[in-house]
Structure 1
Amino acid sequence: MMGLADQLLKAGLVDKNKVKVTNQNKSKQQKENRRSGTETVDEARLAAQELQRQNAEKARLANAQRDAAAQQKAIAAQITQMVQQNKQSKGHNGDIAYNFTFGTKIERIYVTPAVREHLVAGRLVIVGEGGSYELVPRVIADKIAERNPDIVVRVKQATTEVEEDDPYAAFKIPDDLMW
């Protein structure tokens, strides 16, 4: 590798004496710095180090974003695989409309009476993925909810407790009511 002084000599911009004097001055300065314990500040070197540090930080951030995106993609693939491997049948020719809330919308699927009973009892859970709704066992739904709780539809179980100030406490809701 050719040094800067050699390149300047080849180009004819400096002569050998000028290079020699510059090298002597540089070595004297280094010797003086070693003796006195002071160090000269090389601004160009500091600027290069700062630029290198900034580039390394940018690369680290880009890698972190790329890793996060890959992790999200892997989680989505895991969820899809769990749903596909464990989805339960809604029943052939389901004739009962089962309404549920997904996000802010009320959605509807058609199921058989037996499947409806499993949904009400909490043995089956609805998972909304890719614009469709599938039924999976509660154990699988819990695993999916660990990865992405937004796609699991939680059916609130009916409670028999009555609040003291409930104005509708005297009006009981029948168990077979479908909304």
Structure 2
Amino acid sequence: MAKANPLQEQLLKAGLVKKSKLAEVTREQHKARHGKAPAPSSEIQREAERARAEKAERDRVLAAQHKAQVRIAELRAQARQIIEDRKLPRSGDIEYRFSSGGAIRSLLVNEDLRRQLASGALVIVSLDGRHELLPRVAADKVRERDARLIVLDHGRDGERQPAATDAEDDAYYAQFQVPDDLIW
């Protein structure tokens, strides 16, 4: 046992206290000096728990947003790669006109490419300010990843439902003949 204080030693010698009782009192005094701080009040605990829960929710939302941004960037990179790998070489002297970004653009194509564009077998995509021709299969893969890159797709345009005004317009314009060799 460690040194006892002089009063405790005197009481022990006089026989007024037992050694076991003295040891118990010493342990209690030691616990009081070196023990844990009193437990915080329940209000403080609730506030701390609420703050932890709010922080965890904010962290979860931020992580989900970051994950979504990474996924979008990944899909865009995949679409760019598909375009770079599958673009068709353009050749010819026929201007094929289409609208893109509110302006009328044109590509030089040959007769075969023009026919494929008109039938929907080829699609025009925009990549870094330039326009490329893609086969239908590759264009569908690009559409799955980033549909904004598709500029002209005659195959998809035919899938939309015609409105009632389209039928009226068709009936009106049926009275006018269109030349067979008209190229816009």
TM-score normalised to structure 1 length: 0.69
In our comparison, the structure showing a higher alpha carbon Rg is 2
Q: Secondary structure at the match of 2:172?
A: coil
Could you tell me which runs of 5 or more consecutive residues in structure 1 were left unpaired when the two chains were aligned.
1-15, 28-40
Aligned partner of 1:38 in structure 2 is none
Kindly tell me: are residues 147 and 175 of structure 1, through their superposed partners in 2, closer, same or farther at Cα, counting changes over 3 Å?
farther
Q: Which amino acid aligns with 1:149?
A: A
Aligned partner of 1:58 in structure 2 is 58
Deviation, structure 1 residue 62:
1.2
> Runs ≥4 in structure 1, deviation > 3 angstroms?
162-165
Q: Which amino acid aligns with 2:111?
A: P
Q: How many residues align?
A: 143
Counterpart of 2:107 (choices 106, 109, 128) is 109
Deviation, structure 1 residue 103:
4.0
Q: Which amino acid aligns with 1:154?
A: D
Q: Is 1:154 matched up with 2:153?
A: yes
Deviation, structure 1 residue 113:
1.9
CA distance in 1, matches of 2:168, 2:112: 35
Kindly tell me: are residues 174 and 151 of structure 1, through their superposed partners in 2, closer, same or farther at Cα, counting changes over 3 Å?
farther
Aligned partner of 1:11 in structure 2 is none
RMSD across aligned positions (CA): 2.9
Could you tell me which runs of 5 or more consecutive residues in structure 2 were left unpaired when the two chains were aligned.
1-28, 159-165
The share of aligned pairs that are identical, in percent, is: 34
Q: Is 1:139 matched up with 2:137?
A: yes
Q: Is 1:168 matched up with 2:173?
A: yes
Deviation, structure 1 residue 116:
1.1
Q: Is 1:123 matched up with 2:106?
A: no
Q: Is 1:42 matched up with 2:47?
A: no
Deviation, structure 1 residue 163:
3.6
Q: Secondary structure at the match of 1:167?
A: helix
Deviation, structure 1 residue 175:
4.1
